[in-house]
Structure 1
Amino acid sequence: MHNCKSMISLGEYHTKEAKFYFRSLTMNDLVEAQQLIISHYSTREQIRTALNVPHAELIAVDKQRTKSNLEHKNASVGAFECASGRLVGVQMNALLMRTADGMEQKDDEEMIKVDAKFPWRTPVKRLMKKLCDENLFKLYKTDRLVRVYMLTVHEDFSRLGLAKQLIIKSETLAKHFGYNLIVAKPTSAYSKSIFINLKYTLEFSLNVQEYVDDVTGENPFKTMTHPHNVLTLYHRRLLD
Structure 2
Amino acid sequence: MKCMKALTVRNMRNQAFFSTKDWSNFLVRRLTEENVVQAQALVTNHFSKQDEMRKALGISLDNAIEFDRIKTKELVQNGASLGIFEKSSHRLVGAAFSKIEARSNYSHGFSVMNEHHNSSKWIKPILDVHKSLGENVFSELKADKILAGRILVVDSAYAQHGVATLLMQGCTNLATELECDLVLGYVTSNFSANIARKSGFKIISSLDLLQYVDEATGQKPFVNAKPPHNMVHLCCYRVPKAAL
Asked if these proteins are the same fold (TM beyond 0.5), I'd say: yes
* Aligned-partner Cα distance in 2 for 1:105–1:226: 25
Q: Is this contact kept in 1: 2:209–2:231, CA < 8 A?
A: yes
2:110/2:130 contact within 8 Å kept: no
Q: Which residue of 2 aligns with 1:119?
A: 121
Deviation at 1:68, TM superposition (A): 1.5
Aligned equivalent of 2:49, options 43, 48, 60: 43
Q: Describe the superposition over 1:179-201 as per-residue Cα deviations: whole angstroms up to 9, x where unpaired.
A: 13111211244422211222322
Percent same amino acid at aligned positions? 28
The DSSP-based 3-state class of the residue aligned with 2:48 is coil
2:8 aligned with 1:11: yes
Q: Tell me what 2:65 maps to.
A: 59
Query: Which residue number corresponds to residue 16 of structure 2?
Result: none
Name the SS for the 2:104 alignment partner.
coil
Q: Is the 8 A contact 2:94 2:153 kept in 1?
A: yes
| Paired residues of 2:133 and 2:207 also in contact (CA < 8 A) | yes
Q: CA separation of 1:201/1:60 partners in 2, compared to 1, >3 Å: closer, same or farther?
A: same
Query: 1:211 Cα shift?
Result: 0.7
**Larger deviation, residues 48-57 vs 153-162:** 153-162
Q: Secondary structure at the match of 1:50?
A: helix
What is the number of equivalent residue pairs in this alignment?
Answer: 231
Superposition deviation, residue 47 in structure 1: 0.6
Q: Which stretches in structure 1 are left out of the alignment for 5+ residues? A: none
SS of aligned partner of 2:168:
helix
Q: SS of the counterpart of 2:216?
A: coil
Q: Which runs of 4+ in 1 moved over 6 A?
A: 105-108
2:80 is the alignment partner of 1:79 = no
Q: Would the alpha carbon gap of residues 200 and 7 (structure 1) be closer, same or farther in structure 2, given more than 3 Å must change?
A: closer
The amino acid across from 1:207 in the alignment is D
2:110–2:137 Cα contact (<8 Å) kept: no
The change in CA–CA distance for 1:97 and 1:155 in structure 2 (over 3 A counts) is same
Q: Return the alpha-carbon distance in structure 2 between the equivalents of residues 222 and 155 of structure 1.
A: 27
* Residues 49 and 105 of structure 1: CA distance in aligned 2, closer, same or farther (over 3 Å): closer
Task: Determine which of 96, 99, 103 is the counterpart of 1:98.
Answer: 103
Identify the match of residue 128 of structure 1 among 127, 130, 151: 130
Letter in 2 for 1:144: K
Q: Note if contact 1:209-1:222 (Cα within 8 Å) is conserved in structure 2.
A: yes
Amino acid at match of 1:223: N
Tell me if structure 1 keeps the 8 A contact 2:206–2:234.
Answer: yes
* Contact map agreement 1:145 1:183 (CA 8 A) in 2: yes
Alignment of 1:121-200 (within 5 A): 121-132=123-134, 134-200=135-201
Cα offset for 1:141?
1.0
Cα gap change, 1:235 to 1:121, in 2 (>3 Å):
same
Alignment partners' CA distance in 2, 1:105 and 1:181 = 12
Within 1, Cα distance between the matches of 2:133 and 2:105?
A: 24
Report the Cα offset of residue 53 of structure 1: 0.8
**Structure 1 residue 100: Cα displacement:** 5.3
C-alpha displacement of 1:218? 0.3
**Deviation of residue 51 (structure 1)?**
0.9
Which consecutive unaligned segments of at least 5 residues does structure 2 have?
14-18
User: Could you tell me how far apart the structure 1 residues matched to 2:124 and 2:155 are?
Assistant: 29
